Amino acid sequence: MTVTDEWGLHGKVAIVTGGGAAGEGIGNGRATCILLARAGARVLVVDRDLPLAERTVAMIAAEGGTARAGSFDVTNSQQCRAMVAEAVRLWGRLDCLDNNVGIGSRGSVVAESEENWRRVMQVNVDSMFLACKYAIPEMIRTAGGGAIVNISSISAIRPRGLTAYTVSKGAVIALTKAMAVDHGREGVRVNCIAPGPVYTPMVYARGMSEAARAQRARASVLGMEGTGWDVGQAARFLLSAQARFITGQTLVVDGGASLVGPERDSAG
């Protein structure tokens, strides 16, 4: 792997949660892991399913990059503490955190069950709260600051029948802004990405039809779907020194889908 330091990430240490993906597929987390490694970062690839994280590590190693796999439940406080401790144990510091874990839901507040509402909030919001709770002090202690990216969704800014999911992803944007204000003077930048119709293993594992894919493409003013690489490129930028003067912002990566009327049956 040929490494240049155009991103200011060479030698930095990153944790990416949700860094696995099925098979050889490229999801948002896996793409971010690979791109950070290509920029010279050392990456702790975290996934609940360890073999999926290990496959990401193998893909990075095949290019000459440095990564390790870890299985941690990011909805659990002690597991998040252990995750951060593992990155520091491996490489002595922590510079970057990409919070990429999330689940979906459909239905209104009337249709949604209380149990599923709480589960969506736990996975989509609590996980980021807990990961940041333990990561931020170690970033400050070991590296004098750092950068965090939280993954939201255009559903947060354009509701379309996914109420619990929409609320959880809106909370991610609010959490991002609050943490940016709280920790900016300590050298920690916090930004957010709101992906739109992105074709990832999580999407096509549900057996999406070609007609559904065409509808997703039409939802974009560019007439196309995005990929995990598009989200990964945005995450690497926001975590890099090139974004040194950017914090508390939400970068929409959706091909312009949020600029036009919603198609309620499309996914993004």
258 catalytic, yes or no?
Answer: no
| Catalytic position from the list 12, 165, 220, 258 | 165
Catalytic site residue 12?
no
| Helices marked H in 162-245 | 163-183, 201-204, 210-219, 228-239
Residue 252: CA count within 13 A, CB half-sphere:
15
Residue 70, Cβ neighbours under 10 Å: how many?
21
199 is known as an active-site residue = no
Let me know if 39 is exposed, middle or buried by CB neighbors in 10 A (0-12, 13-18, 19+). Answer: buried
Task: Please measure the distance between the N-terminal and C-terminal CA atoms of the chain and give it in whole angstroms.
Answer: 33
Q: CA-CA distance, 175 to 23, in Å (whole number)? A: 32
Calculate ∠ Cα 248-10-237, nearest 5°: 30
Please pick, among 152, 153, 168, 266, the residue that the annotation labels catalytic: 152
| CA nearest to 108, candidates 28, 167, 63 | 167
* Of 127, 134, 169, 220, catalytic: 169
- Give the active site residues: 152, 165, 169
